[in-house]
Amino acid sequence: MRERLGKFEVVRLLGKGAMGEVYLGRDPKLGREVALKVISVGTAFGDEAEARFEREARAAALLNHPHIVTVYEFGDDEGVHYLAMEFLDGHELETLIREGKIPKGDLLEVLAQVCDGLGYAHGRNVIHRDIKPANILVTKQGKRLHAKLMDFGVAHMGTSGLTEAGTWMGTVSYMAPEYLDTGTASASSDVFALGVILYEILSGGRKPFKGESTTSVLNCILRHAPEPFRPQDLKEVPGTLLAVVDRALAKQPQDRYPDAESLGSAIREALRASVDAPAVTVVPPSAPVGSEPEGPGGHRIRVGKGGQGQCLSLKVALRQAKTGSEILVLPGVYRESLVVDKDVAILALGEPGEVVIQANAGPVMIIQAQSVTLRGLTLQGPAGVAVLSIKSGSTRVEGGQILGFQNAGIEVAAGAQISLGEVVIGPGTGTALRVRGRGQATLVGTTLQGESGGVEVEDEGRVQLTRCRLMDSRFAGLLALEQSQAVLESCDIGNHLCSGVHALAGANVVLRQCRLVGNAGFGVSVMDRGLATMEGCQVQANGGAGLLIHRGATVQARNCTFSEGRSLGVDCADGGQGVLDTCEISGNAGAGVQVEPGGSLLLVRCSLNEGRDTGLLLLEDSEVTLEECVVRRNARGGILLARDAADPVLRGGNLVEDGFLRVDSGGNLVKVTPV
């Protein structure tokens, strides 16, 4: 280690990376500590690191802001290039998010500070291009956290020629779709990266666009909506931040916030609203009348007859309510259509099913507020409309039942959110839950029973279901339309005439530990350009194929069973492709696995056993690879090849006890030895 670099004394090594080291230094004239970034001598990154140093120094010459790390000097000492910058004793935001020890509200204020600094840089035509938590340093000033944006080493400045157009610079997980398409960065692409960090703070460190490889991450950023949030992600933050995330992560730049400062203002506004709004005290549905405690704001309204209610009508109660009020509803039948345009909680008193709200025309309830809670209510609606319509904001529904619908039980409009816990939707003749484009729904322990379908999620809508039951429809338990996203965990999906899960073009469906049993049609059907990931699922006793991979669709299944079907276990159709890893395909009436012309399938450590037909059926122009698989005790044979079908590719010690058969020119089955 050198003792000096230029005028600076070198004190000790702080850290080391691929391109160089960072030392603690001291300016002897001013007596202040500095951080010294140095290019490693002889490194292969020398030219690139030098260009980054120059770029960072040029950016520093333009920027002087309290939320941007200050660079003091760019120098060369006997061939060693160094940057002297402000030394800060703090932690990277990446570490703070991962550890989860600091309240999310404090981290959100840190991000808002970064928005201020980045907006200042954008105003001087400096595009950072590598916004990520590792490039945000957080220090403590008294009780407040203070953010500093650093590392402008890949920044773009106006029309400088330091990088060529079309060249990616930065970190893939934070790159905006248009940047991936063109390689041209803008202030809006930096705003997208801030949206990714916002998502990480809310989710506790998860990234919105995930994949097992760089290519799959790029594909998710370009084609798919972010992973849905989990209920626990939003416990300590306002639900209005969901809309902020959606706008910051919009695929099209014009749909995002116009600048970084606007995003910072939206974050702070959501935080202020959550502080200003009175807290809502939970009253159990069975609490006796008159025993409810007063809320923090002292504003509760009881609705009901018999002298115990302050008013007879829910409409009147809503007119009298203030923001944060609780409306306590006594047992009875209330024949009203309601528009909820204030942030309130409407809570049923008495036993489940004793508070019923009916509508003669129109929806029973329309939500047009930012934060609404409904608990223990039974909503019963007329024909032709949704019983509960969520137009905007974030709505929480706890307990209760939605029934009598002929159109939809619940409809979530574009940009609105709903979360449901232990709710029963149905029976009804329409669709139990419909989520429109960019709407979001999170369901836990909810039962959905609609004759026209369980859950329908439209273009860019997102749903997450945990421990839910989707039963008894004339179509599909889950219908995922184009560009939508659905995550189902530990759900039961059964007795649907078409499919348990039906994913259309461009939809992305994730199934974990789900049971798809007894559907008259397919267990899971994935259509053109759809993508499905299955983990630990049981697909059993379905009328059609347990899994249908249609033209252009892609499926990855791991630790799943496809068994006892009345048709095929797995059908990979023309142009479909899939990977089955450690799956069991057994006891199906048709072939365990059928690969049609143009289909492509990889089977790894799978077992195709005890089928009532063929273990594996390959048609002409199909491509199949088996790796460490077992094929045995199938009634018609192990692997059956159509007359012009190519042999499967065998790797790593497969066991095919039933042998190989091929259809000859006369239509007869003959035993063959694979090449």
SS3 per residue for 477-510: EEEECCCCEEEEECCEEEEECCEEEEECCCCEEE
Residue, of 31 and 252, whose pLDDT is higher: 252
100 and 73 part of one domain: no
Note the pLDDT of residue 219: 85
Domain count for the chain = 3
103 and 198 part of one domain: yes
Can you say whether residue 637 is alpha, beta or left, with left for phi > 0 and alpha for psi between -120 and 50 degrees?
left
Asked whether residue 139 is domain-assigned, the answer is: yes
Measure the CA–CA gap between 467 and 92, rounded to whole angstroms: 37
Instruction: Note the pLDDT tens digit of each residue in 301-323.
Output: 999 976 677 888 999 999 999 99
Indicate the length of the chain as a whole number: 675
CB 7 within 8 A of CB 31: no
For the segment 586-614, the average pLDDT, to the nearest whole number, is: 94
Note the pLDDT of residue 607: 96
Element (H, E) at 121: helix 104-123
Residue, of 522 and 231, whose pLDDT is higher: 522
Domain that holds residue 38: 4-86
For the segment 553-576, the average pLDDT, to the nearest whole number, is: 94
Spot the catalytic one: 116, 130, 343, 613: 130
Residue, of 164 and 5, whose pLDDT is higher: 5
179 and 260 part of one domain: yes
For the segment 494-520, the average pLDDT, to the nearest whole number, is: 94
Measure the CA–CA gap between 281 and 286, rounded to whole angstroms: 15
257 and 147 part of one domain: yes
As beta bridge partners, residue 4 has 9
CB 136 within 8 A of CB 150: yes
Residue, of 267 and 70, whose pLDDT is higher: 267
384 and 311 part of one domain: yes
CB 470 within 8 A of CB 455: yes
Residue 664 clears pLDDT 90, i.e. is over it: no
Q: Minimum mean pLDDT among 76-85, 545-554, 594-603: which range?
A: 76-85
Instruction: Note the pLDDT tens digit of each residue in 484-496.
Output: 999 999 999 999 9
**Nearest by Cα to 225 from 31, 371, 521, 437:** 437
Measure the CA–CA gap between 570 and 588, rounded to whole angstroms: 10
Q: How many CB atoms lie within 10 A of CB 367?
A: 26
Q: Of the segments 3-17, 105-119, 222-236, which one has the largest average pLDDT value?
A: 105-119
Among residues 55, 86, 117, the one where a domain terminates is 86
CATH number, domain with residue 66: 3.30.200.20
Asked whether residue 76 is domain-assigned, the answer is: yes
Asked whether residue 290 is domain-assigned, the answer is: yes
CB 448 within 8 A of CB 476: no
Residue 482 clears pLDDT 70, i.e. is over it: yes
For the segment 151-167, the average pLDDT, to the nearest whole number, is: 51
Residue 167 clears pLDDT 60, i.e. is over it: no
* Sheet with 80-86, edge to edge strand ranges: 4-5, 8-16, 20-27, 32-39, 80-86, 71-77
Asked whether residue 400 is domain-assigned, the answer is: yes
528 catalytic? Reply is no
CB 458 within 8 A of CB 245: no
30 and 59 part of one domain: yes
Asked whether residue 130 is domain-assigned, the answer is: yes
pTM: 0.59
Asked whether residue 126 is domain-assigned, the answer is: yes
Measure the CA–CA gap between 356 and 378, rounded to whole angstroms: 5
Q: Minimum mean pLDDT among 52-56, 337-341, 537-541: which range?
A: 52-56
110 and 162 part of one domain: yes
345 and 238 part of one domain: no
Asked whether residue 442 is domain-assigned, the answer is: no
What is the pLDDT confidence band of residue 628, given thresholds at 50, 70 and 90? very high
CATH number, domain with residue 119: 1.10.510.10
Q: Of the segments 71-80, 207-216, 389-398, which one has the largest average pLDDT value?
A: 389-398
289 and 322 part of one domain: yes
Q: Of the segments 197-206, 235-244, 647-656, which one has the largest average pLDDT value?
A: 197-206
Note the pLDDT of residue 591: 95
Instruction: Calculate what percentage of the chain has a pLDDT beyond 90.
Output: 58
CB-hemisphere CA count at 13 Å for 518? 8
79 and 95 part of one domain: no
For the segment 589-596, the average pLDDT, to the nearest whole number, is: 95
How high does pLDDT run on average in the chain? 86
What is the pLDDT confidence band of residue 80, given thresholds at 50, 70 and 90? confident
Burial 7-31 (b: 16+ CB within 10 A, else e): ebbbbeeeeeeebbbbbbbbbeeee
Asked whether residue 568 is domain-assigned, the answer is: no
62 and 108 part of one domain: no
For the segment 363-379, the average pLDDT, to the nearest whole number, is: 95
Among residues 65, 86, 107, the one where a domain terminates is 86
Note the pLDDT of residue 49: 60
What letter represents residue 181's amino acid?
D
Note the pLDDT of residue 342: 93
Among residues 276, 303, 321, the one where a domain terminates is 276
419 and 380 part of one domain: yes
